Amino acid sequence: MLSSSPPGQPLSARPGDTLMDLEVAKSLPNVFGNADIFGRTTNAGRVTAQYASSQAKKATLIRKKLSYRDQ
């Protein structure tokens, strides 16, 4: 997890810290296969980015993508 710092100061992270964790959603289909008119959604997956290391002022990140499939 990113460490907190006072406003205006840079944040810091250690190797293995999660920088971003996003939930991905998709529209529920109606009977015709189009998007639901009520705006309902379902989980479609998750994307995370982890800090791995840095060298010569360049950061290396690890991106993981998990997709959920309907059966």
What is the structure's pLDDT at 2? 56
Between the alpha carbon of residue 46 and those of residues 19, 37, 43, 64, 71, the distances in Å are 14, 24, 8, 8, 18
What is the structure's pLDDT at 31? 85
Give the distance, in angstroms, between the CA of residue 17 and the centroid of all CA atoms in the same chain.
Answer: 13
What is the structure's pLDDT at 32? 86
Taking the C-alpha atoms of residue 49 and residue 13, their distance in angstroms, rounded to an integer, is 12
Local structure of 7: helix, strand or coil: coil
Residue ranges of the chain with per-residue pLDDT less than 70: 1-5, 70-71
What is the structure's pLDDT at 70? 64
What pTM, to 2 d.p., does this model score? 0.64
